[in-house]
């Protein structure tokens, strides 16, 4: 018999380093219920203050990954690759990235999450498509990934159940904000998908999950080190979230812009830059291209229309309409009310509190304040201005799609308050830096 949970908690409380077996014992107890909520929260707080060495983070990640199903894609004739974003506003990159990589020979079994706080979730966006099944059985998930090259679905309870319990307790005990625990939480779920390569899109800025650029950098480097230490080739891009990515935020509206991006009908330059850079990283990690050719390969997959075909095939294979890409506007819900948000003064869009823009979407009903809440896929914001845009008083800063006039007016006030008009901001890059795999197998 191993040590009692309280002995392991005391070891961490006193600044000790836990062995992989000791961490494994705690995680087993989280999964089978033999470690209590009180013990888990005390352990989380001990880690919050004492931190974890790299070996401990790897051990926690692996133990939580192995607490449930771990998928195996070794039968596929190409690498299984995925991307994880730490969350943003208007960040619909997954919808474009999965079919682009699929069109280049990769397989993208993407297990995505619901919106968290002010950020949107890929799963909620896909749920905007009528008939599309985000919770298929394992066999359907496998066969769609194999035949279309990608399948964007939702998380099941069988993946990393220890994290589900641990995160639920951290959420109510002020212990979410630990880079060690965030690293293990994010990676345990992603690595349970049995990937050969993973790229991380770590956001920095006013709409990012981490409060400062330094924290985002620290999280990115922790994620890259731990994922590679756990045996999955992983790199990261640190990307800008000081403004909405693209010009829309919501669920159906982000699906619409994803389709327009894939077909070439409309492409925002920053969205294109970040999407293709992440796709190129995935090809390199999966051995499908080298650093010099990857960008040309992913650009061709997009511009030739092959990625749009993959997306269309995936939507149909998972139960969505047969001609969704051609007729997306007839399938995506649109609410009754649409209003413009007028700029209060003339000038340049200088600062955007992107988090507040995300919260405006949540308040419209496009996100949740309670994990069990239903959401309204139709509402959201469109035509959102970008930093550096010149506006005259009365020009629209955005358009609001809402169910009621009162909701629309409240969202408009929030958007007005979130956008500062003044002097031109220093231009920020869409991509700040790249962190290559460290000590990769």
Q: How far is the CB of 176 from ligand URA (least distance, A)?
A: 6
Residue 19 vs 54, nearer CB to ligand URA = 54
Is 41 a catalytic site residue? no
Residues in the chain: 441
Complex with ligand URA: residue 113 or 388, whichever CB lies closer: 113
Size of the site for ligand URA (CB under 6 A): 6
Handedness of CA 158, 160, 166, 168 (dihedral sign): negative
Q: Judge whether 84 counts as a catalytic residue.
A: yes
Q: Is 85 a catalytic residue?
A: yes
- Check binding of 67 to ligand URA (CB under 6 A): no
440 binds ligand URA (CB under 6 A): no
Active site residue 382: no
**H or E element in which residue 351 lies:** strand 347-352
Q: Is 216 in the site for ligand URA (CB under 6 A)?
A: no
Pair of tokens at residue 164: 């589900």
Closest CA to 44 of 200, 196, 172: 172
- What is the rounded CA–CA span in Å between residue 151 and residue 418? 35
Q: Is 218 in the site for ligand URA (CB under 6 A)?
A: no
Does the active-site annotation cover 83? yes
Q: Does 185 bind ligand URA (CB under 6 A)?
A: yes
Which of 182, 241, 276, 283: binder of ligand URA (CB under 6 A)? Answer: 182
Outline where 51-79 has alpha helix (H): 54-65
Contact of 435 with 235, CB cutoff 8 Å: yes
Residue 167, interface with ligand URA (CB under 6 A)?
yes
Residue nearest to ligand URA (CB): 185
* Alpha carbons 17 and 324: distance in angstroms, whole number: 53
How many CA atoms are closer than 13 Å to the CA of 101, on its beta-carbon side? 38
Give the binding range for ligand URA (CB under 6 A) out of 18-26, 175-183, 265-273, 315-323: 175-183
Instruction: Report the residue number, 186 or 307, with the smaller CB distance to ligand URA.
Output: 186
Q: 309 has which bridge partners?
A: none
186 is a site residue for ligand URA (CB under 6 A): yes
Q: How far is CA 209 from CA 116, 294, 319, in A?
A: 10, 29, 33
Which of 61, 185, 188, 316 is catalytic? The answer is 185
Closest to ligand URA by CB, 182 or 253 = 182
169 binding ligand URA? (CB under 6 A): no
Q: Cα separation of 20 and 5, whole Å?
A: 14
Distance from chain centroid for Cα 324: 24
CA distance readout (Å), 297 to 80, 89, 101, 283, 366: 18, 28, 9, 9, 35
Selected range binding ligand URA among 181-189, 288-296, 315-323, 376-384, rule: CB under 6 A: 181-189
Least separation, in Å, of the C-beta of 219 and ligand URA? 9
E strands along 48-117, which residues? Answer: 81-85, 108-112
Is 203 considered catalytic here? no
Cα–Cα distance measured from residue 204 to residue 54, given in angstroms and rounded to the nearest whole number? 23
Q: Is 82 a catalytic residue?
A: yes
Q: Nearer to ligand URA by C-beta: 67 or 185? A: 185
176 binds ligand URA (CB under 6 A): yes
Interacting residues with ligand URA between 99 and 158 (CB under 6 A): none
Residue 289 CB, nearest approach to ligand URA (Å): 29
- Residue 159 Cβ, how far from ligand URA at the closest point, in Å? 12
- Residues with catalytic function: 82-85, 122, 170, 185, 189-190
Which residues bind to ligand URA, rule: CB under 6 A?
A: 167, 176, 181-182, 185-186
């Amino acid at each position: 018999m191993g040590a009692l949970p309280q002995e392991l908690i005391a070891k961490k409380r006193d600044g000790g380093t836990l062995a992989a077996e000791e961490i494994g014992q705690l995680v087993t107890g989280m999964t089978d219920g033999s470690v209590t909520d009180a013990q888990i929260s005390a352990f989380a707080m001990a880690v919050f203050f004492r931190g974890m060495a790299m070996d401990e983070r790897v051990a926690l990640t692996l133990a939580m990954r192995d607490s449930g199903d771990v998928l195996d894609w070794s039968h596929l004739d190409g690498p299984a690759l995925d991307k994880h974003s730490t969350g943003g506003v208007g960040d619909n990159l997954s919808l474009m990235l999965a079919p682009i990589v699929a069109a280049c020979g990769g397989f993208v079994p993407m297990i995505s999450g619901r919106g968290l706080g002010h950020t949107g979730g890929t799963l909620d966006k896909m749920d905007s498509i009528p008939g599309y099944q985000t919770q298929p059985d394992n066999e359907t998930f496998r066969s769609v990934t194999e035949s279309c090259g990608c399948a964007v679905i939702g998380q099941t309870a069988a993946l990393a159940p220890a994290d589900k319990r641990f995160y639920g307790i951290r959420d109510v005990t002020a212990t979410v904000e630990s880079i060690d625990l965030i690293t293990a939480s994010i990676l345990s779920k992603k690595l349970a998908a049995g990937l050969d390569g993973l790229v991380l899109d770590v956001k920095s800025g006013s709409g990012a999950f981490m409060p400062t650029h330094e924290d985002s950098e620290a999280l990115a480097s922790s994620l890259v080190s731990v994922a590679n230490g756990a045996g999955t080739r992983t790199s990261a891009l640190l990307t800008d979230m000081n403004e909405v990515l693209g010009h829309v935020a919501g669920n159906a509206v982000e699906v619409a812009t994803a389709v327009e991006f894939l077909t070439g009908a409309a492409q925002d330059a920053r969205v294109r830059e970040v999407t293709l850079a992440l796709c190129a990283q995935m090809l390199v990690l999966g051995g499908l291209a080298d650093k010099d050719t990857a960008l040309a390969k992913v650009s061709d997959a997009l511009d030739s229309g092959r990625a749009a075909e993959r997306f269309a095939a995936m939507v149909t294979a998972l139960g969505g309409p047969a001609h969704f890409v051609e007729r997306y506007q007839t399938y995506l819900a649109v609410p009754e009310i649409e209003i413009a948000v007028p700029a209060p003064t003339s000038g340049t869009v200088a600062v955007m509190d992107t988090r507040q823009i995300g919260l405006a979407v949540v308040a419209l009903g496009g996100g949740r304040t309670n994990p069990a809440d239903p959401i309204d896929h139709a509402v959201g914001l469109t035509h959102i201005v970008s930093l550096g845009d010149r506006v005259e008083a009365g020009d629209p800063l955005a358009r609001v799609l809402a169910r009621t006039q009162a909701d629309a007016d409240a969202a408009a006030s929030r958007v007005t308050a979130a956008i500062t008009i003044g002097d031109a901001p220093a231009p920020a890059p869409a991509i700040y830096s790249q962190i290559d795999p460290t000590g990769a197998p």
